Structure 1
Amino acid sequence: MIRIHLKFRDMPLKRKLYLCIILLIVVPLIITGFYLNNQFANLTLNKSSDIALQTLKQTRQNFDSLLADTNDLSLRILSNAQIQKFIKEDYNKALDYDRYYRDIFSWLNDLKGSKMVFDTISIIHGNKVLFQMGTLDSNVNSEHVERALALKGKLYWAVEGDKLYAYRRIMDFSKYGNDLGVVKINISEEAIYHFYQGINAYDASNLTLVDSAGTVLSSSLKNKIGHKYEPFDEMKRRISNRSDGFFSEKIGNTNNIVLFYRIAPTNWFLIQTIPESSFTPLKTTINTLLLIAIALCILFGFLFSLIQNSYLIKPLGKLRTEMAKLRTGNFNIHLNTESKDEIGEINQGFIRMTQQLKETIDDVYISKIKQREAELTALQAQINPHFLYNTLDSIHWLAMKHRNYDVSEQIEALSEIFKHVLSKGQPIVTIREELDFLENYMFIQKAKYGQRIRLMISADPTLMDYKTPKLILQPLVENAILHGLEEKLEGGTIDVRIDIIDNNVRFVVSDDGIGTDQKRINRMMSGGDGIQDVFALKNIDDRIKLNYGQEYGLKFRSKEREGTVVEVLIPLMT
């Protein structure tokens, strides 16, 4: 408990505020909402299921009529005297067959009337179809015929493929116990489907008519007709002893409400499965009202937090961010000073303190720069250029006299280097002079490194007479040699590129050396530990920013084992 208290005490104000709102407002409301939602959901589901069941049971009369009509039709057929004679062939077959056939056809057509539920009516004797009316169906299933005969005149219902048939034994009225054959009536599945098609109003709902063994007699999914209804075995224990009802059942990966009623004479079941998600409209309405109430409570809590965040926490966070900028040496502070409350007074005080600190630092920094420039000028003044040039010239000719041409060329290059460094005390030279100085420096370095170090220079010819602070390129090339290529056994290439970008001059010095940790170098450039290791880079960056502004200066990019790129940007100066 003490540890939790200490952690809470050390949290940022914003996190404390939101944590209190969540624990004291949001969480209790969510728990209450879940409980109420569960209660309302169960009540809604039961009520909706009961309504759907009453709708489903409205189709019971259609099935009762179908069974009654089929029973009546089959009884009339088996008791018709003309059909009895036709089966027994008790007529002049050569003369009266067509007349009998037409009379029976006409009589059945009148008897059937407008009832489209009967698709085909067949009279079978033995394994032969003697008479047929409707869709051609010459198939005779001996097993079904025998079972119909065994039932002694009761209707026998059977499924053959995807078709539903009613069989009934035709007895010989003139001779007791003699069987003449069976009547086979094909019930139109499409007509049965129309019995319940209109009530299938729920999304993804399926209706299925199955017999007592679970065989599909009719279904809204036509490819299931004639096959075993897969969920029937799981449902059977729930529906076998009931005439109707509903229950929840998981079919596949979906939770469903199962509605059913029994068609008593045949022990068929009409089963409707409705995904629970289909009841969402009513459930959504209740949930919406509940969520609105919870959301309003949470809204007022967060409105309070937003006010606190806007007028207290956010200004403090902004102040903290600006203080972090100050630690990195960035004095570009932006704070709102319009507010007259305590936060506004703190912001005004911090801005005043920052301005005073910047003025103090600028005074000290500029005075140190001027002191260094004065020391450099004094040092340059101590060296008599004419004496230095004359001395180097004497040594040069002495080396020439003794035919030591390598020493002669090195001394000549060194003389040019001193001439460029001194340059009559002027800090600004042309880009051409800066490149000449760099080539003299590399001439001396080749005596040490030979062909291990290669220098490539690519400069826009139109820039040669433009001005640049002196000693920009040579320190960067020297840095590339010492820290990038010297430790690389096979050496490498230094590429120097000078071009114009956005009316500025850009110097780019890149090498393919061993590279270094870019973040570490940038951290040291910003004034971190180890600043002496990046003195040359820091010196160039400071000189340029001091003379031309913060938008100019040096950028450093490097990747270990790939190389380093240094860019220097100065204004275009004629």
Structure 2
Amino acid sequence: MIKAVQNFFDNVKFRNKLIAITTVTAVIIGGVSIMGYEYTAKRYNSLLYDQTAISLNYISIDLSAKIQTITSLSQMLSLNKNMQENLSNYIDSPDIIKKRDARSLIIQSIYHYIDKNIESIDILLENGDLIQGGAFFQAESPEIYKKIKEECQRKQGAAVWFSSNSDDRTIFCARQIRKTSYSDFLSSLGYLIIRIDLKSILQQSSVLTENSFIYISDDSDNPIYSSDYPNKISFSVQSENNKKYEIKKSGGQTLFIVHGHLSSPSWNIRMGIPYADVFESVILAKIATILLIIVSIVLTLVLSGVCVQSITKRFDMLIFKMNRLKSGKLEVLESDNPPGQDELGLLNQYFDEMTLEFKAMIDDNYVKQMLIAQAQLKALEQQINPHFLYNTLDTIKWFAKHCGEKNIPVIVESLGSLLRNSLSQDSDVISLKKELSFVNNYLQIQKIRFPDLLNLVVDVDEWILEVKTPKMSIQPLVENAIIYSMEEIQDVYTVNIRIKDTGDTVTISVENDGSQIDENILEKLNNNSIKPTGHGIGLVNIDTRIKLIFGEKYGVSFSSFANHVIVSFSIPKSYQSN
């Protein structure tokens, strides 16, 4: 399986490989980033939940303090000596005026304790009379009063708390007023009922918002106070796993609920706020972070795609160049954009340079092949009916001998040998020994022609006579030397032929006096600065053939000094015919 996948991957295009690698890398990095963010966000949310729960619990602490204050107030009122005395006078006095005065004093005492959180303070007497003081004057139902009396009697002077059936924002703190005088000690004077605006107390907290809610119940989970949410939320006495807070969904809304408890009175408090109200910034940060990661991944893929396109574009260009070269097109493509200096740019640049060198090598080889073909064609043209020429020379030789002429047979015989050897197609290179025989045939003719004027000196190292040299490479130089030496009138014209061992090479030089030569004549002949004559063509031909056979480092050279000209060339001692 792994091998099959590897083979498949090996056959995928390089561009797709880079795209796949980049995509997988981006997805892995993005996935790890999202998981890391989720873990960090979860830890952060846990801390934030705890802090939010603590903040909401401040409401429980504040409410507990206010409840305790009201409880203390109820105790203080119920034990107040003046209050008990006035109540006794109001209950026991038969005098209506005294009753009225006692009632007024009771109401005045009540108003002394009224504040913004207390709507009213009522005193329910045993006979059913109700003394009210405060901003709220509304009697509760007989059932409520009966329940209050029963619970207060059961508590025997301790504070009890009730919710109002008529107003869900109101709760009651009630206590039995019991005599503290020695006469009738602890007998009941009535029941103190403090009506409390619980909603006003809760709204004083800066933690709650308009959408916040509070649900207060007793230990039996009977409701004592609730805001607008209780019918929409399924509350439990304890949160899941006994946590201090929980997150619930209700009516399509997610709520953050904190559980609290008051010890006195023993109340359970559930405080909640819409999750979005408090954690909106967290939610937005989470969404923004995830979007940022996604955008980063997309941007990474886009930029990677651009980079991959830039890389594979140059790969495609290189492959295109290779296919062009394979099809025989050797021209280098021109581009407006430089290839760059990175590895791919250098690879394209080196390939272009290699193509140019390859083209130059092919062009050079083509030129050489053309020169060889032209030389062969010329040789073929010169072989037109050579046997007729040889037979004619033999006839002249026989006729001269018959007439008793001594020089003509020698000239004819030397010319015949010279022509026969020059027109031979055996090989392009021959031994120096054989080449010197051509030179000797030519010199025989020139000695007869100039018997007293020509001084020929030949200096040859005998052990190098088997070294190979291009055919007809020395004779044209000797011919040129004789011709140019006679440009000035002299008594004797000297031509020196030297063939010397110079290490790995053999140097052949032909020297003549009586003339001068431009040492750069060969370069000028090649670039057409001067027009070649018949002899100039011979020098170019010899130089070209030497370079074709032995290489560019070999060739004809010229030097001139004191009315002397030396034409020379070197050939390697060892030569393998290709």
> Normalising by structure 1, what TM-score?
0.45
When Rg is computed on C-alpha atoms for both structures, the one with the higher figure is: 2
> Normalising by structure 2, what TM-score?
0.45
